[in-house]
Amino acid sequence: MPSIRNGNPTSTNSGPERGGPLAVAVEFDPSNLAEVLPPGGITFVQGCSGQSALLSEAVKRAGDALGAMTFIGIFVPGLNRETFLANPACRARSFFMTPELKQARDAVEFLPLCYAGILAHLRDTPIDAALFMVAPPDANGLCSFGPVVDFLAELWPRIPNRIAHINPQMPSTHGHPGIRRTCR
């Protein structure tokens, strides 16, 4: 599961630790995003105020190398302006309709669900990867999900490829303990 520290991604595919948060490891270059995402898979994108501009740009640059990937997330009108349609084969699935997604028409699956319905849908969807942003590690090595924890905290353990942008501007919040950062 890749992550990015100050613009440098980190990747790991390790499983959950006993009773604790998962680890983030192995730094990589965002320009190589297509090399760490499963081609043609389903990728959860943390939206709302937790969307990473760095990772959004990396998706755009990856273009055709992503294949027929589907990007799914909570894209909020006026806040999330990316469509994640990096090539003609890419698709987006959203629970809110942004003006940008509306313009993409046939490439977008719109599911107008309430939050409980969104969570149920995400639980039933085999997600191959996640793109999200976290705060820098605290004294215990934990990276907070920041102010947008909604679904990621629950989905995280079952997503095999996790790409986190460790953003020094992201505030650390209380609540979910976050994820452990370890680097190799």
pLDDT score, position 71: 97
pLDDT tens digits for range 92-120? 999 999 999 999 989 999 999 999 999 99
Q: Do 19 and 6 meet the contact criterion of CB atoms below 8 Å apart?
A: no
In which residue are the tokens 């149920």 written? Answer: 120
Q: Which pTM was predicted? A: 0.83
Give the residue extent of every domain in the chain: 3-10+20-181
pLDDT reported for residue 30: 86
The C-alpha atoms of residue 121 and residue 117 are separated, in whole angstroms, by: 6
Note the pLDDT of residue 55. 93
- Asked whether the predicted pLDDT for residue 25 surpasses 80, the reply is no
Per-residue model confidence as pLDDT tens digits over 125-150? 999 999 998 889 888 888 888 887 77
Question: Averaged over 52-61, what is the pLDDT?
Answer: 93
Which residue, among 21, 43, 32, has the nearest Cα to 130 in the 3D structure? 43
CATH code that applies to domain 3-10+20-181: 3.40.1080.10
Residue 184: pLDDT band (50, 70, 90) is very low
